[in-house]
Amino acid sequence: MEYELKEISPVKLEADVTIPAEEVNKKFNEKFKELKKKVNIKGFRKGKVPISYIKKLYGESIKFDVLENVVNDSLKKIIEEKELRYVDEPKVKEVSEIEEDKEFKYSVEFYKIEDFEVNGYKDLEIEIEKEEVTEDMFNEALDNVLKRFTSYEDAIDEPVKEGYQIVAKIEAFNKDGEKIDKLSSEEMVLTIGQNFFLPDFDQYFIGLSKDEETEVSHNVNLDGEEQEVNFKLKVLWIKKPIVPELTDEFVSQFGEEYKSVEDFKQKLREQLERELEEKKKRILTDKALEKLREINKFEYPEILLEKQVKMLQEGYKGPNKPDEEELKKMADTQIRNAIILNKIIEKEGIKLESQDIEEKFQKISEMFNLDVENIKKFYYSRPDDYNRLLDDLINDKAINYILENIKVIETEKKEENE
């Protein structure tokens, strides 16, 4: 086999490959011998059919199989000899006719990531606003816990207020007075302030009493177009929220470790501190990777971007899907992050240990309250999911390595009005 590997661009290699007639004949003969053992032809015992007769019967029909074998074997040899690291599948083109006693030619393109030396990850300086659990933050979290256990009782003699729950009759009409069924309901349950029905719509019920009616106009996005819709509203029932008191009895429902209100408050504060630490890590990670993308410039094949954009498109369902340019920007960031992390993993010899995988299984087990052995069976029976898990783990180790080597400069948190 003869070939010449040429670099067409920083992300593309091309080879013109020539397979001599002797190697082509060898592949044809291998296929003929394989058929000789398998075929049943009237007048011949199985395995005793002359090769010349098999060639006559199957000479044309096996050409594609021979071509495939020749190309695959030669590609494998090129990749091994040149120690090629490529992305996506090699693109075979300009394929000649394959015939016995004739040399065979084809061209192939390999796509690769531009060679570069990853730098800058050991001397990064990153500024981040210092954030601590404040009393306001703690009290808000405590209120949210209590609100999750809110019950409601009838308040038919009171006007509707923020946080009240109501049953309402809603009729919607377009500018021509025609009823819009998909915006109408005989009995819709609403919690005032959540704006579950439409954005900024709950305000129209505040102050109304049971059986009171009103008419309002409200802009609604219908089929991608902003339209003014007229509504007739009637309050059918009113309930007011009853927020539970924070007592030892209330907190005991969360588990045996919560023996008093003070225990609950302490653990809530610890949870908020953990959440802030996780938030800090996310911010530092994003800023570190952003700086590394600025430091390390390289090209990669367009096919990677196309595939990543397609994957992102499939992941977005509903009206809030980003536009094409935003998706491309997101995909480019994800690709560059992955390439940079992979380079750091290789350069620093970062490896996964069995303990890393066991600890991850244990965390998943605790998260979903499932037996750890069942978690293992799930992943071991799904190679794609298991490989994604391993990729996430090794990338996390690379990110931790970066964060351990950066200099963090904490600044005072700016006030909202600054």
Q: How far apart are CA 347 and CA 341, in angstroms?
A: 10
Dump pLDDT digits (tens) for 220-261: 988 778 899 999 999 999 999 999 999 999 999 998 889 999
Neighbours of 409 (CB within 10 A): 10
CATH superfamily of 2-111: Trigger factor ribosome-binding domain (3.30.70.1050)
Cβ atoms of residues 252 and 229 within 8 Å? no
Q: How far apart are CA 164 and CA 162, in angstroms?
A: 6
Residue 2's identity, in one-letter code, is E
HSE at residue 266, side-chain half, CA atoms within 13 A, is: 7
- What are the boundaries of each domain within the chain? 2-111, 150-242, 261-411
Q: How far is CA 186 from the centre of its chain?
A: 40
- Which residues, in sequence order, are bridge partners of residue 129? 411
- What percentage of residues in the chain have a pLDDT greater than 70? 97
Q: Helix (H, G, I), strand (E, B), or coil: what is residue 14?
A: strand
Q: Does domain 261-411 have CATH number 1.10.3120.10?
A: yes
Using the structure block, give the residue that is written with the tokens 């199989």. Answer: 65
- 27-31, 94-98, 190-194: which has the minimum mean pLDDT? 27-31
The secondary structure of residue 179, as a DSSP letter, is: B
* Identical fold, 2-111 and 261-411: no
Q: What is the CATH number of domain 150-242?
A: 3.10.50.30
* Residue 321 token pair: 């899907």
Please tell me the pTM assigned to this model: 0.77
Residues 6+ apart with CB under 8 A from 121: 288, 292, 344, 402, 405
Q: How far is CA 81 from the centre of its chain?
A: 36
Look at the alpha carbons of 209, 210, 213, 219 in this order and tell me if their dihedral is positive or negative. positive
Q: Is the pLDDT of residue 330 over 70?
A: yes
Across all residues in the chain, what is the average pLDDT?
A: 92
Q: How far apart are CA 332 and CA 309, in angstroms?
A: 9
Q: How far apart are CA 13 and CA 84, in angstroms?
A: 10
Q: How far is CA 67 from the centre of its chain?
A: 39
Q: How far apart are CA 154 and CA 165, in angstroms?
A: 9
pLDDT at 234: 97
Dump pLDDT digits (tens) for 281-324: 999 999 999 999 999 999 999 999 999 999 999 888 766 778 88
pLDDT at 98: 92
Dump pLDDT digits (tens) for 46-78: 766 777 777 777 777 788 989 999 999 999 999
**Residues 331-356, mean pLDDT to the nearest whole number:** 96
Q: Is the pLDDT of residue 188 over 70?
A: yes
**Cα–Cα–Cα angle for 128, 131, 133, rounded to 5 degrees:** 165
- Residue closest to 128 by CA, chosen among 411, 415, 380, 416: 411
pLDDT at 123: 86
pLDDT at 242: 95
Edge to edge, the sheet with strand 104-111 lists 2-9, 12-19, 104-111, 87-93
